[in-house]
Amino acid sequence: MILRLLRLLAVCALLAVRAPAAEIADTFHADKLAQMDAAITLAIADGRCPGGVLWLERDGAAFRKSFGARAVEPEREAMTEDTIFDAASLTKVIATTTSVMQFIERGQFTLDTHVSEILAEFRGAGKEAITVRHLLTHTSGLPPTSSSTGGGISVSLAWNTMAPSTASAITV
């Protein structure tokens, strides 16, 4: 019953999208859009997320729809299609872990290599004992601060202080 209602709401929502219906129908599968709409709506109803934006582009056509709220505290704020999301939490999973595994695969270091062996500036205040594994698993004991406040390291520092052989081995 609830799933039928969600599908009906999804179909109604599809009809309200700004792109011409013919363009949407020619480019996107309406049944797939309805499934995505229902999944996002259900996730919001179940309290798994406060809101989201579905944005698809293909062959010059675009489908955009916002759902729920982009903020719930201190007051509720509706989600908009132009809401910008902070994807920083994905950086370690997508970029850092992949890069580290490439370095390990090439034999340039291991998970148990001390970071100070890779970045000479990563010394002092007990940082010499911190390994790559510690950084990847959030067990280094470093405070969650930026390099400007003295706790972390900046990307530019890391990039600019790598040994030339390490820096030149990076492939994107």
Calpha distance 46→163 (Å, rounded): 49
Taking only Cα atoms into account, the Rg of the chain, rounded to an integer number of angstroms, comes to: 23
Calpha distance 1→145 (Å, rounded): 48
Calpha distance 132→104 (Å, rounded): 11
Extract the tokens encoding 58: 């293909």
Identify the active-site residue in 89, 148, 156, 165: 89
Extract the tokens encoding 166: 């390490």
Please list, in sequence order, all residues whose beta carbon lies within 8 angstroms of the beta carbon of residue 47, skipping any fewer than 6 positions away. Answer: none
Annotated active-site residue 168? The verdict is no
Residues labelled as active-site residues:
89
